Chain A
Amino acid sequence: MEYKKITNDNYTLHLINTNRFKSMNIVVFLTKKFNKDDIKYGNLLCKNMVYTSKKYNTKNKMATIGEELYGSNVSASFGITGKTESYVFSLDFLNPKYTDNIYLEKSIDFLCEILFNPNIKDNKFDSNYFNITKKETISNIKSLKDKPNLYARNEYSKLMYKGTETSYSTIPTLEEVEEITEESLYKEYTKLFNGEYKIDIAVYGEIESDIESIINKKFKNIKGNNNHLDIYINHKYNDEVIEKVDSLPFNQSKLYIGYRLKDLTSHEINHVLRVYNTILGTMNDSILFNIVREENSLCYSIGSYYSKYNPSLTIYAGINKVNYEKTVELIKECVTSMKDKKVLERLFNSAKKTINTYLNNYYDDLTSQINLYYQREFESLEDIELLREKINEVTIDEVIKLNDKISLSTIYLLKGDN
Chain B
Amino acid sequence: MIVKTFKKVDEKIYKEKLDNGLEVYLYKTDKTKNFYITISVKYGARITKYKVGNRVVDVIPGSAHFLEHKVMALSENKEISKRINELGSLANAWTSYYGTNYNIFGSINLIENLKLLLDIFYNTNITEKAVNEEKGIIGEEIDMYKDQIDSLIYSKLFDNLFNKTYCKHTVVGEREDIEKITADSLNQIYKDYYVPNNTFIVVTGNFDIDEVMTTIKEYMNNIKVKPKELPKRIKEREKENVNIPYEEIKKDMENTRVKYAIKMKKNIFGIKDDNILKDYLGIIFSNNFSATSELFERYKDNDIILGMSYGINIVDDHLIIVINALTNDGNKFIESIKEDIKKLKITEEEFERKKKKYLKSYILDFDNIEDIEYLISLSLMMDNKIDYNEYDELVNLNYKEAQRIIKLINYDNTSIIRTIK
Contact = CB atoms under 8 A, between A and B. Distances in A.
A interacts with B: yes
Interface of A: 20-23, 58-60, 62-64, 67-68, 70-71, 94, 98, 128, 132, 135-136, 139, 142-143, 145-146, 148, 249-252, 283-285, 290, 293-295, 297-301, 318-320, 347, 349-350, 352-357, 360-361, 363-364, 416
A336 B290 CA distance: 52
Interface in B352-403: 353-354, 356-357, 359-361, 363-364, 366-369
Contact of B357 (A71, A136, A142, A284): A71
A310 B190 CA distance: 49
A357 B292 contact: no
Contacts of A301: 140, 144
B143 A128 contact: no
Interface string B73-108: 011000001101111111100000000000001111
B3 interface: no
10 contacts: A22-B364, A22-B366, A63-B290, A132-B300, A148-B147, A250-B147, A284-B90, A350-B88, A354-B85, A356-B107
Interface residues of B, number: 67
Interface stretch (B18-26, B130-138, B409-417): B130-138
A324 B253 CA distance: 26
Contacts of A350: 82, 85-88
B254 A352 contact: no
Contact of A60 (B87, B292, B307): B292
Contact of B291 (A59, A94, A250): A59
Contacts, number: 167
A81 to B, nearest CB: 26
A90 to B, nearest CB: 15
Q: Is the interface of A mostly helix, strand, loop or mixed?
A: helix
Contact of B144 (A128, A300, A363): A300
Contact of A251 (B34, B133, B147): B147
Contacts of A249: 252
Interface string B152-180: 00000000000000000000000000000
Contacts of B300: 59, 132
B27 to A, nearest CB: 14
B75 A136 contact: no
B251 to A, nearest CB: 8
Contact of A300 (B74, B137, B297): B137
B360 A297 contact: no
Nearest to A21: B367
A283 B137 contact: no
A276 B88 CA distance: 15
Given A71-B360, A71-B361, A284-B81, A360 B107 contact: yes
B38 to A, nearest CB: 16
B356 A70 contact: yes
Contacts of A297: 133-137
B292 A252 contact: no
Contacts of A22: 9, 363-364, 366-367
A283 B255 CA distance: 38
Contacts of B138: 300
A252 B148 CA distance: 10
A388 to B, nearest CB: 11
Contact of A94 (B91, B253, B364): B364
B275 interface: no
B407 interface: no
A294 B76 CA distance: 9
Interface in B286-303: 290-294, 296-297, 300-301, 303
A-B pairs with lowest CB-CB distance, top 6 = A353-B88, A297-B136, A350-B85, A63-B291, A143-B254, A294-B75
- Select the residue from B32, B84, B300 with max chain A CB neighbours within 10 A: B300
Given A23-B364, A60-B291, A250-B147, A67 B34 contact: no
Contacts of B139: 320
Given A319-B140, A357-B89, A98 B8 contact: yes
Contacts of A71: 356-357, 360-361
A360 B34 contact: yes
B179 to A, nearest CB: 14
Contacts of B85: 283-285, 347, 350, 353-354
- Select the residue from A63, A290, A416 with max chain B CB neighbours within 10 A: A63
Contacts of A251: 143-144, 146-147
- Select the residue from A58, A60, A148 with max chain B CB neighbours within 10 A: A60
